[in-house]
Structure 1
Amino acid sequence: MCYDCSSSSGPSDPSRRSFARFLAAGAGLTVLTACTPEAPRAAAPSSSPSSASPSPAAVTASATPTAEAATVPPAPSEPAPPPSPSPSAALPRQFSLTDPASPWLIVNKHRPLVPAAYAPADLVRPAVAMTVSGESALLNSTTAGAAEAMFAAAARDGVSMVLASGYRSYSTQVATYNGYVAARGQADADTASARPGYSEHQTGWAFDIADGGGVCGFQPCFADQPAAVWAKANGHRFGFVVRYPWMFHPITGYYYEPWHLRYIGVEPATDMVNRGIFTLEEYFGVGPAPGYL
């Protein structure tokens, strides 16, 4: 225990001789090390030399550690743990996350379409009720077949569902996005409409629905309409998810769109429901995309 190590004593001070004897007893080095940050001065010779008194050289050598003893090798760094596999990795079948023709394609504000002007080769008009015409009435063939099955099941449950917006070509998305920018400014437009080359509508894998009664179309209140409620609860049975769910815009980059459905396949859509995962970014492990890079 260290009480006061700052004071010094003359060569003939009795306390100095007592301290030298304490060193000879074998405990002085511990006290000296704990109390003094620098190497101690050599003890002055006593008027009555004794074989028990250490020589100045011995004190200095004992109190000053060698470079080898003072050097503590750094602890080896532990390797970084391997990344956890995405939940989708548990499925028996795997698909590309970058190929626009893949049902698992992830397109968001960090992941544009390649090529930017991609157009599906198998666009068809599904046999469902719709309020649009032209290219907006088209979907890729896989999505169209699943949409027909889903709309028919909703009708059997007494729910009227209609297709309100399907495929959009690159040129159409240019006009749509620029219209939002002109009306609301670019910062606000980026929360409501995808930039050209970043839209799911361009892939043919996504479409917007409306209620048969036409209530709350493309408005937040659509979430409470029968078509939206039914699609949210049953869409996975046909391979669909609500792509931009409530309160997940920090991940998806878009505010809640209960009308925007995306086809990914029955297996992954059902697995997402069973696991309680709401976004494709989380399920496929690609990271959030709150804004454009």
Structure 2
Amino acid sequence: MATQQPSRRAFTGLLTAGAGLLALSACSPASNTPSTAAADTPTGSPSPTVTATSASPAVTPTDVAATPLPSATPSSAAAPQFSLTDPTSPWVVVNKHRPLNPQNFVPADLVQPNIRLAVSGEASLVNSTTAAAAEKMFGAAAAEGVIMTLASGYRSYTTQVATYNGYVASTGQAAADRASARPGHSEHQTGWAFDIGDGGGACSFQPCFAEQPAAVWAKANASKFGFVVRYPWMFHETTGYFYESWHLRYVGVEAATDMAARGIATLEEYFGLEAAPDYL
């Protein structure tokens, strides 16, 4: 079981041939900062420095039993409905328009899953539901000869503040917003998401990871275990981030398989929410 920290992600140009676009990353670990995890910040236009606050319990959700639009209703009429705003909900949608509430949310049930790790500390944690599903998925992949690693899991608000501030200090806020989520706007803080690596160690957090066995297998099979590739190819105008073949998000088997069956690529579309290409 590997416990060493993965190499820090560099900004990568290219996701569209010849376009010279910089890869926007909700997951990118910090560059030249004390932390190796990625960041997110409060809503609105923050000053270059964000101040961390102590964690507080989740607030009462404002849309419990939120239902997708008729065109995106899960195939089973008995499918459970969950909040789109409560961070303890598997259907919470976090993006550049939808910060966590509270922004310094801390999952109450963080655990280290029994899978191959490429990280240690808080980055090796996810919530208990995600951990159980990940163990099943990693086991199924291994049975088919594909070795996955957990490359980055939970990231606290404090970690995100340090990371984002480091980016702002070194590159400016505009560039920081292209490279990392602001504190309070990251799925990693919810415990419902994590990044995978390939057992061979190639292309971690790089566009070429999409061609590695772990990414190929996950794209084809993750929905069977309740996961979606949260930032799919060519949907950056909806999600706010270019393709991240390594970033998996747990939404439950019913929703994930329904999305796959009907070719719905993003949570924004599935739940009838507005696109979030930039911060408000």
Bin of the TM-score, shorter chain as denominator length: 0.7 to 0.9
Q: Secondary structure at the match of 2:70?
A: coil
Alignment deviations for residues 137-191 of structure 1 (CA, whole Å, 9 cap, x no partner): 1000000000000000000010010000000000001122223333443223223
Aligned partner (choices 209, 213, 217) of residue 196 of structure 2? 209
Are the counterparts in 2 of residues 88 and 268 from structure 1 also a CA contact under 8 Å? no
Partner of 2:136: 149
The answer to whether the Cα contact below 8 Å between 1:85 and 1:285 also exists between their aligned partners in 2 is: no
**Is 1:101 equivalent to 2:88 in the alignment?**
yes
**Partner residue, 1:88:** 73
Larger mean CA deviation between 236-245 and 173-182 belongs to: 173-182
**1:89: Cα distance to partner?**
5.5
Q: Which has the higher contact order (CA 8 A, sep 6+)?
A: 2
Asked if 2 retains the 8 angstrom alpha-carbon contact of 1:239 and 1:269, the reply is: yes
Following the alignment from structure 2 to structure 1, what is the Cα–Cα distance between the partners of residues 69 and 137? Answer: 34
User: Matched residue of 1:230: which SS?
Assistant: helix
CA contact (8 A) 2:148 2:197 kept: yes
Kindly provide the amino acid, as one letter, of the partner of residue 154 in structure 1: A
Q: CA deviation at 1:84?
A: 5.4
Q: Could you tell me how far 1:96 is from its partner in structure 2?
A: 0.6
SS in 2 for 1:119: coil
Residue in structure 1 matched with residue 148 of structure 2 by the alignment: 161
* Alpha-carbon RMSD: 1.5
Cα distance, 1:86 vs. partner?
Answer: 4.8
The structure 2 residue matched to 1:276, chosen from 249, 254, 263, is: 263
**Distance of 1:205 and 1:290 partners within structure 2:** 21
| TM-score (structure 1 length as normaliser) | 0.70
Q: Percent identity?
A: 73
Corresponding residue SS for 2:145: coil
Say whether the 8 Å CA contact 1:251–1:288 is kept in structure 2.
yes
**Separation in structure 2 between the aligned mates of residue 109 and residue 88 of structure 1, nearest angstrom:** 24
Letter in 2 for 1:281: E
Given the superposition, is the C-alpha separation of residues 84 and 230 from structure 1 closer, same or farther in structure 2, using an over 3 Å criterion? closer
Deviations 1:97-132 (A, max 9, x none): 011000000010000000010000000000000111
Q: Secondary structure at the match of 2:229?
A: strand
170-179 or 283-292: bigger deviation: 170-179
Partner of 2:249: 262
Change (3 A) 1:183 1:227: farther
| Aligned-partner SS, 2:73 | helix
The match for 1:172 among 137, 152, 159 is 159
1:242 to 207, 218, 229: 229
Structure 1 residues 109-124: aligned runs within 5 Å: 109-124=96-111
Secondary structure of 1:209's aligned partner: strand
Distance 1:222 1:184 in 2: 25
Moved segments of 4+, more than 4 Å: none
**For structure 1, which segment, 235-244 or 175-184, has the greater mean C-alpha deviation from structure 2 after superposition?**
175-184
Which has a greater percent of helix?
1
Q: Does 1:231 align with 2:239?
A: no
Q: Which runs of 5+ in 2 are unaligned?
A: 1-67
Residue 191 of structure 1 aligns to a residue in which SS?
Answer: helix
